[in-house]
């Protein structure tokens, strides 16, 4: 089954984009990513009915995702585990190569570059990972950790200049200068995440991909790190691609939100619009499931069943089996993202037909 061909191209269905939209910092078009489950060539061979056949199975992690990230905004991607949000982040950073589609950074394609060709882009885009216990090299001091990206990207800088820069970055994220001589294991989760942020900021990037940067932290520490990310955005004019499953954080932090389900984007909207009027049935269910402080008895929308496996994707709309509004068309035809007048885009037949 070739889903790539079925996945709709975004350009064809939304009205001509206004001028500033064409200058998006990052453009993702029809991105797909499959992971093979079948091993190498010999492992794919099977005997079937006396014949030798080759059988391949894939995890369809991303199926035709198109996103634009504007300069200076924080685009949040939300969804449940397995929806492909982290894969999007990794493909954008070039840590995984896409199976199909295009990624343009500042107008230039970066999806098929060699690691040498990517080097100048790596200086402009940096990543912050979820687990600060795993993302710092345990054998390097903090000073070494922070100097490494500078030495790589500025081979012409002398020692003093590198040290000055490290000092400046450490001060800007609230790290005491004497931390430099210590190792990662000596710090708490929140402190390590500060160090990871400092490492990302050291080369003065303009774009930061943050993959669940606060999920591993305690509530009071989450607020500290989120504030730090917001300060950095204001002071350094950063653009964020922010991956999270926490809708409360999204509402606070995001300029726009993309909701993903099973490898596809089901809704993109400005944050305030999305939280005021979620349109896609999945977005509505997701929002109603957040435990709220105010009311005692939640009335959340119960979805039937569980997220299907991304190995055998459902036909039509990937959400149809759990959707309370699904009809025959939803089971057959893949919905396209359709732009609404309030700036949101929704991929849902029911919304399109006005049933919802």
Q: Which has the closest alpha carbon to 228: 201, 209, 257?
A: 201
Beta carbon nearer to another protein, 84 or 98: 84
Beta carbon nearer to another protein, 186 or 328: 186
Beta carbon nearer to another protein, 221 or 356: 221
In 140-244, beta strands by DSSP E: 207-211, 239-244
Alpha-carbon distance values, 47 to 41, 57, 121, 280, 311 (Å): 14, 16, 47, 45, 22
Q: How many amino acids of this chain bind another protein (CB under 8 A)? A: 43
Binding-site member from 49, 50, 138, 291 for another protein (CB under 8 A): 291
Q: For residues 133 and 70, what is the distance between their CA atoms, to the nearest angstrom?
A: 31
Q: How far is the CB of 287 from another protein (least distance, A)?
A: 9
Alpha-carbon distance values, 306 to 232, 240, 261 (Å): 38, 31, 12
Q: For residues 108 and 18, what is the distance between their CA atoms, to the nearest angstrom?
A: 20
Residue 185 binds another protein, judged by CB under 8 A: no
* Per-residue contact string for residues 302-341; x = within reach of another protein by CB under 8 A: xx--xx----------------------------------
Residue 116 binds another protein, judged by CB under 8 A: no
Binding-site member from 12, 115, 160, 220 for another protein (CB under 8 A): 220
Residue 253 binds another protein, judged by CB under 8 A: yes
Residue 167 binds another protein, judged by CB under 8 A: no
* Per-residue contact string for residues 71-110; x = within reach of another protein by CB under 8 A: ---------xx-----------------------------
Q: How far is the CB of 292 from another protein (least distance, A)?
A: 6
Q: Which stretch binds another protein (CB under 8 A): 11-19, 114-122, 153-161, 280-288?
A: 280-288
Binding-site member from 44, 131, 172, 288 for another protein (CB under 8 A): 288
Beta carbon nearer to another protein, 103 or 303: 303
Q: Which residues contact 148 (CB under 8 A, 6 or more apart)?
A: 140, 199
In the chain, beta strands by DSSP E: 26-36, 45-48, 51-54, 58-69, 74-78, 100-105, 108-109, 125-128, 207-211, 239-244, 256-261, 264-270, 338-339, 345-346
Beta carbon nearer to another protein, 130 or 271: 271
Q: For residues 161 and 151, what is the distance between their CA atoms, to the nearest angstrom?
A: 10
Q: Which stretch binds another protein (CB under 8 A): 22-30, 37-45, 98-106, 214-222?
A: 214-222
Q: Which stretch binds another protein (CB under 8 A): 133-141, 147-155, 158-166, 296-304?
A: 296-304
Residue 300 binds another protein, judged by CB under 8 A: yes
Q: For residues 111 and 204, what is the distance between their CA atoms, to the nearest angstrom?
A: 22
Pairing of strands 45-48, 51-54: antiparallel
Q: Which has the closest alpha carbon to 214: 190, 186, 240?
A: 190
Residue 178 binds another protein, judged by CB under 8 A: no
Q: How far is the CB of 352 from another protein (least distance, A)?
A: 24
Expressed in percent and rounded to 5, the helix, strand and coil fractions of the chain are: 35, 20, 40
Residue 45 binds another protein, judged by CB under 8 A: no
Binding-site member from 88, 209, 249, 337 for another protein (CB under 8 A): 249
Neighbours of 330 (CB within 10 A): 23
Two tokens, residue 18:
């206004």
Residue 46 sits at φ, ψ, to 5 deg, of -135, 150
Binding-site member from 23, 97, 227, 327 for another protein (CB under 8 A): 227
Q: Do residues 75 and 69 touch, judged by C-beta distance below 8 A? A: yes
> Which residues of this protein are in contact with another protein, per CB under 8 A?
80-81, 188, 190-191, 218-224, 226-227, 230-231, 245, 247-249, 251-253, 271-272, 285-286, 288-298, 300, 302-303, 306-307
């Amino acid at each position: 089954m070739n889903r790539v061909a079925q996945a709709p191209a975004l350009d064809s269905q939304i009205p001509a984009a206004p001028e500033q939209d064409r200058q998006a910092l990052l453009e993702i078009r029809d991105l797909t990513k499959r992971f093979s489950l079948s091993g190498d060539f010999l492992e794919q061979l099977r005997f079937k009915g006396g014949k030798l056949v080759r059988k391949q199975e894939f995890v369809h992690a991303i199926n035709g995702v198109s996103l634009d990230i504007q300069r200076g905004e924080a685009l949040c991607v939300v969804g449940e585990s397995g929806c492909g949000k982290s894969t999007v982040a990794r493909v954008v950073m070039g840590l995984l190569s896409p199976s199909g589609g295009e990624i343009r950074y500042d107008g230039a394609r970066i999806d098929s570059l060699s690691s040498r060709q990517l080097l100048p882009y790596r200086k402009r885009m940096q990543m912050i990972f979820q687990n600060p216990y795993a993302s710092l090299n345990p054998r390097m001091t903090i000073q070494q950790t922070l100097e490494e990206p500078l030495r790589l990207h500025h081979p012409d800088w002398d020692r003093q200049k590198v040290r000055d820069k490290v000092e400046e970055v450490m001060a800007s994220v609230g790290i005491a200068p004497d931390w430099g001589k210590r190792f990662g294991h000596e710090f708490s989760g929140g402190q390590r995440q500060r160090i990871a942020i400092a490492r990302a900021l050291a080369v003065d990037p303009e774009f930061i991909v943050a993959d669940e940067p606060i999920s591993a932290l305690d509530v009071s520490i989450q607020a500290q790190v989120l504030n730090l990310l917001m300060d950095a955005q204001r002071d350094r004019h950063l653009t964020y691609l922010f991956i999270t499953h926490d809708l409360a954080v999204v509402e606070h932090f995001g300029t726009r939100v993309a909701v993903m389900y099973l490898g596809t984007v089901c809704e993109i909207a400005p944050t305030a619009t999305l939280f005021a009027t979620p349109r896609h049935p999945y977005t509505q269910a997701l929002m109603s499931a957040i435990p709220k402080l105010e009311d005692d008895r939640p009335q959340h929308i119960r979805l039937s069943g569980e997220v299907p496996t991304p190995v055998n994707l459902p036909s039509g709309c990937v959400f149809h089996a759990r959707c309370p509004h699904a009809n025959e068309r939803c089971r057959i035809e893949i919905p396209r993202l359709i732009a609404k007048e309030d700036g949101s885009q929704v991929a849902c037949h029911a919304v399109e037909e006005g049933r919802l």
